[in-house]
Amino acid sequence: MRIRELLLGLVNFFVAIAVGFLAFRFVLKLFGANAENGFVNWLYNTSGELLDPFRGIFPVRVVDGAFVVEFSTIFAIIVYMLAGLLVATLIDALTHVSASTKKK
């Protein structure tokens, strides 16, 4: 079924984009990237929209005064991946075609 592959591809695409933005955010925050830089600022603003539902769940830790660890970002990555897996599983279950149906 082509619709099944299309839907699964869209889910995977959007989850990969969201997780990619959040992962870049995590790494840039971890190493103290300059928020005044245009690219870094854009990435923080864009990924901030994805992070908003998860802000404040966990504290932000600063290690050695230089490294910032946003545990909420890690949690958001996990939640988006699990949500994508759930949606993909639902799509797969709802569009599943048995082998006997395909032969007809």
Give the containing element (helix H, strand E) for 53: none
* Residue 59: Cβ within 10 Å count: 10
Residue 76 located in a structural domain: yes
With a CB cutoff of 8 Å and minimum separation 6, the contacts of 58 are: 71, 72, 75
User: For residue 51, is it within any domain?
Assistant: yes
Residue 35 in any domain: the answer is yes
Residue 102 lies in a domain: no
Q: How far is CA 40 from CA 21, 32, 71, 76, 96, in A?
A: 11, 10, 19, 19, 42
55: three-class secondary structure by DSSP: coil
Angle between helices 38-51 and 2-30 (to 10 degrees): 120
What's the number of domains the chain is made of? 1
What does pTM read for this prediction?
A: 0.85
Q: Which domain holds residue 83?
A: 2-97
* 5-50 residue pLDDT tens: 999 999 999 999 999 999 999 999 999 899 999 999 999 999 999 9
